[in-house]
Structure 1
Amino acid sequence: MHIVVIPSWYPKSEHDVDGIFFRNQAQALQRAGCTVGVIAPMFRYLRSEPASVFAGPYGLRRHRQGGLNTYAYDSMYFFPRCPIVDIDRIRWVNAGLAAFERYIADNGRPDAVHAHAMNYGGILAHAIYRRYGIPYVITEHSSIFARNLVRRNQWPSMHAAAQNCSARFAVSRDLCALLQQKYGLDWQYLPNILGSNFAEAFTFPDKTQQPFTFCSVAHLRQLKGFDILLPAFAQALQQRPNMRLNIGGDGPEAAKLRQMAADLGIARAVSFADRLKTDEVLSLMRQSHAFVLASRTETFGVVFIEALSQGLPLIATRCGGPESIVNPNNGLLVPTDNPAALAQALIDMHDNPNRYSPDTLRQNCLAEFGEAAVTGRLKNTFSRLIANNKP
Structure 2
Amino acid sequence: MKILVLPSWYPPHKGEFVQQQADALVDLGHDVTVLSIERVSPRNAIQWVWAWLSLCLSAFSVTQEGKLRVCRASVPGMPKFYSLYAELFAFKTKRVFAKLRRSLNYHPDVIHAHSLIWAGYAASKLSTQYKIAYLITEHRGRFINNEFVNRAEKKEMMLPQVRAGLLGASKVLCVSSKLVPYLASLSSETPIDVLANMVDVDRFTLKNKHGNDAHCRFICVAHVTPLKGHETLIQAFAKLQAAGESASLTIVGDGWYLQTIKALVSDLEVEKQVVFKGHLTQAQVQTELQQADVFVLPSQYEAFGLVYIEAMSVGLPVIATNTGGAIDFVNQKNGMLIEPNNADVLYQAMQTMCNKREEFDSESIASSIKTRFSTQAIVTQLDAQLAQISGKIDVSSR
Q: Please confirm whether the aligned pair reaches a TM-score higher than 0.5, indicating the same fold.
A: yes
- Gaps in structure 2 of 5+ consecutive residues: 52-58
Once the two structures are superposed, the pairs formed by residues 220-239 of structure 1 within 5 Å of their partners are 220-239=224-243
Structure 1 match to 2:299: 295
Structure 1 partner of 2:46: 54
Tell me the residue number matched to 2:353.
Answer: 349
SS in 2 for 1:333: strand
- Residue 29 (str. 1) matches residue 21 (str. 2): no
Root-mean-square deviation (CA, aligned residues, Å) is 2.4
310-319 or 381-390, larger mean C-alpha shift: 381-390
Q: Give yes or no for contact 2:197–2:373 (8 Å, CA) kept in 1.
A: yes
Compare CA radii of gyration and give the structure with the larger one: 2
Q: How does 1:1-391 map to 2 (within 5 A)?
A: 1-12=1-12, 18-46=14-42, 50=43, 52-54=44-46, 60-65=60-65, 67-77=67-77, 79-82=78-81, 86-104=83-101, 105-106=103-104, 108-145=106-143, 146=145, 147=149, 149-151=153-155, 155-185=159-189, 186-194=191-199, 196=200, 198-200=201-203, 202=205, 204-208=207-211, 211-389=215-393, 390-391=395-396
- Alpha-carbon offset, residue 342 of structure 1: 0.3
2-side partners of 1:277 and 1:291: how far apart?
18
Q: Aligned partners of 1:88, 1:259: CA distance in 2, in Å?
A: 38
- Displacement of 1:140: 1.4
Moved segments of 4+, more than 4 Å: 55-59
Shift of 1:65: 4.5
The TM-score normalised by the length of structure 2 is 0.87
Supply the AA of the counterpart residue of 1:72. R
Residue 100 of structure 1 aligns to a residue whose secondary structure is helix
TM, length-normalised to structure 1: 0.89
Relative to structure 1, the CA distance from residue 204 to residue 241 in structure 2 (aligned partners, 3 Å threshold; closer, same or farther) is: closer
The one-character-per-residue Cα deviations of 1:300-357 (angstroms, maximum 9, x if unpaired) are: 1111111111211110111132111211111001111110110111111121122222
The alignment-based identity, stated in percent, is: 27
1:265 to 1:38, Cα distance in 2 relative to 1, 3 A:
same
Q: State how far apart, in whole Å, the 2-side matches of 1:66 and 1:225 are.
A: 37
Structure-2 change in CA distance of 1:73 and 1:173 (3 Å):
same
Amino acid of the residue matched to residue 355 of structure 1?
E
Higher alpha-carbon deviation: 366-375 or 116-125: 366-375
Change (3 A) 1:288 1:349: same
Count of aligned positions: 378
Q: SS state of the match for residue 205, structure 2?
A: coil
Unmatched 5+ stretches in structure 1: none
Tell me the distance in 2 between the aligned counterparts of 1:210 and 1:28.
43
Tell me, in whole angstroms, the C-alpha distance in 2 between the residues paired with 1:282 and 1:108.
41
Which amino acid in 1 is paired with 2:218? F
Q: 1:68 to 1:246 in 2, by over 3 A?
A: farther
Task: Name the SS of the counterpart of 1:247 in structure 2.
Answer: strand
State the alpha-carbon separation in 1 of the partners of residues 156 and 290 from structure 2: 45
Structure 2 vs 1, CA of residues 248 and 98 (structure 1 numbering), >3 Å: closer, same or farther?
Answer: farther
User: How much does 1:97 deviate?
Assistant: 2.8
**Structure 1 261/67 Cα, relative in aligned 2: closer, same or farther at 3 Å?**
farther
Superposed CA deviations along residues 55-79 of structure 1, whole A, max 9, x for unmatched, are: 67856343444543222223441x3
